[in-house]
Amino acid sequence: MSSSDRTIRKTRSWTRWAVPGFAALLGLTYLVVGWVGGDRGFGLQGLGIMLAVAVALLVLSRRSETVTGLLDRRDERINQIDKDATVFAGVTVICAVLIGFVVEIARGQDGMPYAALGAIAGVAYVLALVVQRIRG
């Protein structure tokens, strides 16, 4: 086995564990913030759910080509499907933020939580446009 084969195998192993590892780390974060905030039930539930997600991803990656592709990022077709799904989810969330803002204003509230989220989305969009334009 050549050193490049070992490097590829190590990279594949690392990428396979990155998302489940992040899910587990997020679960630990939920546990800590729940504990600090005095809501241990939330912390334990959050940890349990995120560990279940991590395990499910690992199990499904052995049986599902789609999950495997999403975890190891080598399949261009699945990467494009993921990108399209991410765009759809982003547009959906932006629409929900705009609707939430309008409803808050109609109820006589200040709408600032929604305005802040909308501003973050707008700045992120413009920043992504500039970065993609410079790179492309």
pLDDT tens digit string along 18-40? 889 999 999 999 999 999 999 99
Domain boundary among 74, 104, 127: 74
* pLDDT higher than 60, residue 89: yes
- Are 55 and 83 part of one and the same domain? no
Name the pTM for this structure: 0.70
- DSSP H helices, 73-111, are 76-106
Domain boundary among 74, 100, 123: 74
- Are 6 and 67 part of one and the same domain? yes
Q: Which two tokens stand for residue 26?
A: 């997020």
Q: What is the pLDDT of residues 70-85, one digit of tens each?
A: 888 888 998 999 999 9
Task: Give dist(CA 85, CA 78) in Å, integer.
Answer: 10
Distances (CA, A) of 40 to 26, 52, 57, 86, 96: 15, 18, 26, 32, 30
- The C-alpha angle with vertex 72 and arms to 67 and 77, in degrees rounded to 5, equals 70
Of the pLDDT bands very low, low, confident and very high (cuts 50, 70, 90), residue 110 is very high
Identify the pLDDT of residue 10.
55
Cβ-Cβ contacts under 8 Å for 110 (sequence gap 6 or more): 104
* pLDDT higher than 80, residue 11: no
- Are 46 and 86 part of one and the same domain? no
- Are 14 and 64 part of one and the same domain? yes
* pLDDT higher than 70, residue 2: no
Kindly state the DSSP code that residue 2 receives in the 8-state scheme: -
Q: How many domains does the chain have?
A: 2
Identify the pLDDT of residue 68.
86
SS3 88: helix
Closest CA to 61 of 96, 18, 102, 4: 18
Identify the pLDDT of residue 88.
97
* 93: containing domain: 76-136
